[in-house]
Every structure is written in structure tokens, then in C-alpha cells.
Structure 1
Amino acid sequence: MLDFDEALRICRELGQELALRDAEEVDLAEAAGRVLAEDVTALLPVPREDYSAMDGYAVRLAEVALERPMRVSGESRPGRPLPTFEPGAAIRIFTGGAVPSGADAVIMQENARREGDQVTFTSLPRPFENVRRAGEDLKVGELALGRGARLDGAKLSLLAMLERRRVRVVRRPKVAILCTGDELRPPLDLREVTPPSEVSGLAESNSFGLRELLRHAGGAPLERVLVADEPEALQGELKGALETCDAIVTVGGASVGDHDWARPVLTGLGAQILVPKVRMKPGKPFFLANCRGVPIVGLPGNPSSAHITFALLGVPFVRALSGATESEQELLKVRLPLLTPFRQKPGRRNFLRARVGASGVEILENQASGAATSLAWANALVVVPEEVSQLAARDLVEVVLLGGLG
């Protein structure tokens, strides 16, 4: 059994080792969550020209004196032709308007009194105060975004500002999801079943959350496949997925029970088990394997165990497999005051479902591996180190934020 940090390191290293190299060009509107396969540099300065940071008057400071009227000779606002800057005059300017050549400051309108075409100033700025200089954000040829960047909303906006309507991104890794269990079936609509108590079997639910985690991590999840608890059935599905997919996720059958077939079947197919188990709670049965160059992530079947282990270990792995840089593989963590005391038996790193609020983080009550409600209500995980036996209210704790993971 491996420590959590060692397991995470191996997951990320395998993802980097097998990272996809083939790229495709997509429209910017379809690039959210994708990983850049090219360096993007500025072909024009950003901003392209000097512009005003606020409403006011563009002036040449050498020509301005306090309480001495100046003539207003024109107006500059975004999207309109730039007026000629006349000596001894001021230009009325609005936020985003181009600063005319010859002007070297913008006096904010709160420091001006306007009467007709005359304006008097009550305070003077420093040179180029309230002016955003051309190229101060990016100069021509300067790197804006590097290869391996995961494209979120802010990065997409920057690419649009750089006039990049299409970008080259790494192909999304195709990921099979195999859910094992004789009891599993697709969810029904109990509103259409009378009486609901007569429904047999168990609705397969894990794949819905895992698909969203995969999408947000940069993967292309396939439709999940339900597999009976028979080694022949699992072997057949694995053989097919090994031929057609970039990665495989198995759900259930990851432990060592009489009907847990994931490990022995994979071993029979020649897989190398890189992470056998992890000293964590929930999710101890998690494993990572490599079979013929195709990585296999093995998850426990309990809903919270499956989701939490994939969020903590699977998401960084898929990000690495998608070509993301090391910094882009990291999950968002903060330290917050704990609102609820907690005790545990030391030995495994515990990841507790929790809710972050304005005054700190609160551990939710039901921490059972099969509890779906606390997982759905949580927006964070409180990390309790393996050597810690208790935490007091107001202790600062490490918190993994779940928002944005899917």
C-alpha cells in the first residue's frame, strides 16, 4: 500500500509519460477545457494603442495650469475616429478611448469643471496617469500563453483579444468507463413505476459524476458499459477498450473479494500494477495499472469513494495525459479555520466531505463511503493527515476545493 503523495506522483508521472502528442485545430468557442498544443505570442501590442483608464480630459501637462480655463477641442471615445490634438486645448475622453498623439495624461472628470467649450482643472495628474500604455500588457512577439496551458474562460478571453479565432489543442484522450456489478442497471424514472418499491437491482450512478470529472479534466469519456461480475465478461470489455481507447476507468471490483475481478483479469492480460492500494480514506482499493501502453484507473464501487479518489488522483492523471503542464495539473487548495471538531483513528490520510462558508469550513455528518448525499452537498474536502488523531474547532486545515472539477 502506498502513501497518498507517492500514489499521486506515480499517477502524474504515468500521465506525463503517456501524454498525447497529436493535436487538432478548433474554434475558440469550442476550446474551453482543452490544452494548448502551441505557444501563442502577440502579433500586435496589447493594448494596441494608448487609451484612457477613465472618463476625463486628455491634455499635455506642460500646457495645463490649475484654475486656468482650456478650450475643449474634440472628443475621443471607443470605436470612433480620433480627433486631432490641438496645442493648448484639451480633448474630452471616455474610458477606453484612444489617447491622441501629443497628450501625456488624462485628468479625471471629478477634477474638472466644464462650462460650454471651456474646462478648468482643480488637480493635476502625474505624467501618463490614467493612461494605459500601448504594449504594457503584451509587446509584439511576447509569449501570451504557453503550450500545455488549460484553457479556462480568462485564457479564452485573452486569445480572443489576440485575434485568435482558432487554436491548436491536444486531442482529448478517449476514456472508457467500465462499471462492474451484477446488480447494476441504467437508472429508471420512479415516477413512471407503480409501486416504486417493486423495482429490483441498483441504478448505476457513478459514471454520471465520473463523466463530468473526465470532461472537466480534458478527457473524452465514452458511454459507460455495464459489466457483469464474471471474469470472462470483464476480460472481453477490457480487450476491446485496450484496442480503441487512450485510457480506461474501471468502477467496482477493485478490492480482493471473491467477485472482485479487476486486478486478476488485468494481470492476466499482462498489465503492470503501478499503484496497488493507497493509504487514504475513502478509497483504499484504488489502483493504477499500465497494460500495453494503455493506463487503467481502478476505482472502488462505493459512490463517494469512486468520486473522491478520481477527483484527487484521476483528475491530475487525466490532465497530465492531456498534455497539461505540471502547474495545470494541481488541484486548488486553501487553508481555512475548521468549524467542527473531528476525531479519527490515525493511519490513513482522510478526505472529509465538507462545506466552505464565509467563516470557515464545516465537516458534513455522513462520511460513509456509500453516502451520496454528503458528496452532492459538499463543495470541498478537508484533508486530515494520517498521523493526526483529532482536530479542534478553529484549527487551520488544508482544504481541497471541488468547484470547477465537475
Structure 2
Amino acid sequence: MQVSGLVWSLTLVGILGLVLFDFYFHVRRAHIPSLKEAGIWSSIYVGLAILFGLGVLIFGGQDMGAEYFAGWVTEKALSVDNLFVFLVLLNSFKVPRADQQKVLLFGIVFSLIARTGFIFLGAALINSFAWVFYLFGLILLITAGNLLKGDDSEDRSADNVIIRIARRFLRTSDDYDGDKLFTMQDGKRVLTPMLLVMIAIGGTDILFALDSIPAIFGLTQSVYLVFTATAFSLLGLRQLYFLLDGLLDRLIYLSYGLAAILAFIGVKLILHALHENNVPFINGGEHIDVVEIDTLVSLAFIIGVLIITVVASLLSPKGRAQTYVAAARRHANEFLDIETDPKYCDEIYHKLVDEEEHLKKLPEKYRARIRQESELMDLLRRAHQLHEQRVNDGSCFTVKV
């Protein structure tokens, strides 16, 4: 697919415009997006991505359109997986809810920049070395295996090596100062945890790129399609975070679905590498006649796996139990350690009470397991004690939201 410089320029300006619009009209003023706001803007960004794909289909043909949609759907699914880690990081750093938007937008912008670099590097390697397809395929197969094992790398935790280096060599404060990156402490200018969490998200974004870029190159080798599919998968991710907040923990089988998709694309890449083979020690450097997987087949497989994964997760009793437990733990932690605004604290507390009611309605085998989680039970007990204390001293609202 030949793309002119003008089209590239217009595309870059359009994406930059969307990022700036997101910042000036939504993120600059710290607030907690309502479910309605998150839903509307998530739909708008998904609609823009689909409209763009229809444009590719019209002007680029069926193959290009199928490659774009396969890439976009795959990257979108991987970006939802990224949200799980963002959730862990934001909770680990105890980022106030109203300030999480700025952190997420930074993560999106950093992802766009980092992945653009990886995209052009990957394209250069593919154009120069056909064996790179073998490498990309192997990376995806290893990643799929790690997802099946539930392998959580330390580098994706809130205490990764980047953060330890930052804390060691930079002067940092323990408390937030709104959404400021720097504050004054004992008469000295120091970094706030807000900057540290941005560094943590930036570090994990680089790791995510190592998984996602080989995946999309397995679906299309058009740099323009790789870039636009990646960009549109990231745009709207901030709104999707708040929209899926209560559902993220419910998608218990998502990692299995993503493992199947990445393994499928990994096999597709290796088959393509064998077809284009010029590696001397494989078949004497001659290509091998193998069956290559059609893009439409890839698109159908990816969408089918995601549908099965999401439906199975939502209908699973285990998923429902896990959702309520995770939500109760998150709301208790927010109530105890993160939020200071009395009105929002009361809202969190009543959400916690609602989650506890859901827990009581679970089958006995799940309730028995929950009662054995001493850390969770202690967390809930302390949350109730603190709420009672705040009601008694008049520092907490008592109207249920």
C-alpha cells in the first residue's frame, strides 16, 4: 500500500489533534469521569477507528482493509490487557481517582512515541533481514506461553528497576500535591509520586511494545497500517479504563484468549518466514512451500476468540466472584489510603458496601474461600471502623449515592 507524504502528514496532524483535544477538554481539569462521559467518548473513538478502517477498505482494497481491522482489533485487545497493569500501578502508587486521567494520558502519549519508534525499527529490520519474521514469531510464542502460565514479570510491577533507580538518585516526596510533578518540601524542590508513577507506566509501555509490535507485523507489513492501527487502539484507552473499571477484574479468561491469538499470529509469522526463507541453514537458504494463513481467516479467528473469551468470562461464576472480591479490595484500599475528599470517600464506602452484598449472595464454596483470606477480611474490617469513626466525628457524608 503506497501512501503519499500528504496522507502521512494529515494522519499525524489528525492524531496529534485528538491527543491535544483530549488534554485540553478532559484531562487538564482534574475530575472523575462519569460512566456516561466515559461511555460516550469511548464510543466516539471506536467509531473514528472504524470510519478510518472503512476509508482504508474503500481506497486500499479488501486486503488492506482486512489487515487494518485485524491489526486494530488485536492491538485493542492487547491494550485492554495493558489496563490491568495500569490498574495495579495506579493502586500501588495510591493515585487519587481524579488525577488518574493525567497519568493515563501520559501513558498513551508515551506509548504512541515509543511504539512509533519500534514500528519504524521493525520495518527497517524486516526490509533488510527476512529472518526477523522467525524472531518475531518466536517472541509471540514465548509471550503466549507466559500468558498461559500467568507469568507476571517483576518489571511490570510498581517496584520495577526503573522506579528503584529513580528513588535512589532523585529526591522524591511521599505525598501528592494535586497533579503536580514537583513540589516544595523543607524548602527544597522535590519530585512527587505523580512523576514516579508516570515513569513506571512509561517503563511498562516499552515492555508492552515488545509484545504488540511483532503481533501486528504478523498481520500486515504496511508501516502506515501498523502505525494507524496501533494509534487508534491507544486513542480512547483513557476513557475505556474508566468505562471498564468494574469489568476488568471480571475478564478472567482474557489472558487465555490473548495467548491463543498471539500463538496463532506467531505461527502465521513463522509460516511466512518459511515461505520467504533465505536463512542458509534452513533448507539451504531456499524458500519452503507451506500454507500461509489468509488475512480474512486471521481476522475471523481473532474476533471469534475474543468473543468466546469475553462471553465465557462474563458468564463464569468464578469470574463473578473474582470481580466482587477485587472490587471490594480496591474500594477498601481507596477508602483507607488514597482518597481524602469526604464526598468521594463516602461514595467509595457505599460502593464497598454494595460489593459486600454481592459477596454474600455468592455460592457457599466461594464465600468460604473469601472468609479464609485474612488480609481481605482485615481490610474490610478496618474500612468499616474508619467509616464509623468518620460518621461519629462528623467528617463523613452519610447520604448514600
With normalisation by structure 1, the TM-score equals 0.21
Normalised by the length of structure 2, the TM-score is 0.21
Higher relative contact order (CA 8 A, sep 6+): 2
Q: Which has the larger radius of gyration?
A: 1
